[in-house]
Amino acid sequence: MSGYLDCGRFRLTLQRPLVMGVVNVTPDSFSDGAQHFRTAEAIAHARRLVDEGADILDVGGESTRPGAQAVPVDEELQRVVPVVEALRDCGVPVSVDTCKPAVMAAVLQAGADMINDIMGFQAPGATEAVADAACAVCVMHMRGEPRTMQDAPVYDDVVGEVGGYLADRAAALRGRGVAPTRIVLDPGFGFGKTVQHNYTLLARLRELKTGDYPLLVGMSRKSMIGAVTGRTVDRRLGGSIAAALAGAARGAHILRVHDVADTVDALKVWAMVEGVRA
Ligand code: 8Y7
């Protein structure tokens, strides 16, 4: 581990787990006025997450939940670009969650510091869109595509297959000139995995630490939490915190969460026990 991540205008040290706060720019198909309102809401929410201690923001304008339909490029741009422009001076790096090379190029121009691609930069032109920038790149594993990925996924060896995929994608990015200090890997909890696959990946997270790349994990409020607790998505804070701490204890460097303040508190207590700085 190099001990840091080059993330656009920022160099993040990885001595303690970092918290990435989720900022959804919610869809609105009714009118332009409503979209302006959604934009303002997303910006206000993001600023609140920074106040709560978020180390990174992850802005997303494309619904990637299981079964979700694709969003056209121009609509995704309308959602995310104004939010990135407003947040570029908020004090923390701004990541954008997108699979589309055209969106990647536009948000990098607008000031984004990181691109988070659940498709692992596999779309034609995606590696080229990030190669010459200074942004960090998060490569996530997904089996299938969002619309169909939860249709009974099967693996012989989920840890080996996910780890192999992430290593291959990292090598492809490096082959295009992306420096290793810009790359983050993510097993993609909930993306084409059963509940058992997700917990196997979490339990054996350390085995995914191939190469020198930091790991990002996103389990916040997901169905893997609901499956164990029996809670609906609005009641999954306790389970999500437990998953985040389990990830941190197994070497996750970045925790992607909705509930920043509570996760930051949990990490402070955990860090006191573990003797790491938080
Ligand atoms: C993840 C993610 C989502 C994740 C990374 C949700 C965009 C679903 N999950 N990106 N995005 N990792 N890197 O429930 O686990 O937040 S969307």
Domain map of the chain by residue range?
Answer: 4-274
Answer yes or no: are the C-beta atoms of 248 and 18 closer than 8 Å. Answer: no
| CATH value of 4-274 in 3.40.640.10, 3.40.50.920, 3.20.20.20, 2.40.10.10 | 3.20.20.20
pLDDT band of 110, cuts 50, 70, 90: very high
Token pair for 144: 């299938």
Q: What is the CA radius of gyration of the chain?
A: 17
Give the residue with greater pLDDT, 255 vs 211.
Answer: 255
Ligand 1 mutation pick, 18, 95, 118, max ligand atoms within 8 A of CB? 118
| Mutation pick for ligand 1 pocket among 99, 116, 169 (CB with most ligand atoms within 8 Å) | 116
Is the Cβ–Cβ distance between 169 and 121 less than 8 Å?
A: yes
Cut 0.85: pTM above it? yes
Give the pLDDT score at 31.
55
- DSSP letter (8 states) at residue 68: P
Q: How far apart are CA 88 and CA 62, in angstroms?
A: 20
Task: Judge whether residue 26 has pLDDT over 90.
Answer: no
Give yes or no for residue 276 having a pLDDT over 80: no
Ligand 1 atom with the smallest distance to the CA of 118 is: 10
Output the pLDDT for position 30: 54
Q: Which amino acid is at 36?
A: H
> By C-alpha distance, which of 258, 208, 262, 211 is closest to 233?
258
- Quick one: pLDDT band at residue 174, thresholds 50, 70, 90? very high
Confidence check: pLDDT of 134 > 80: yes
Q: Which residue has the higher pLDDT, 1 or 21?
A: 21
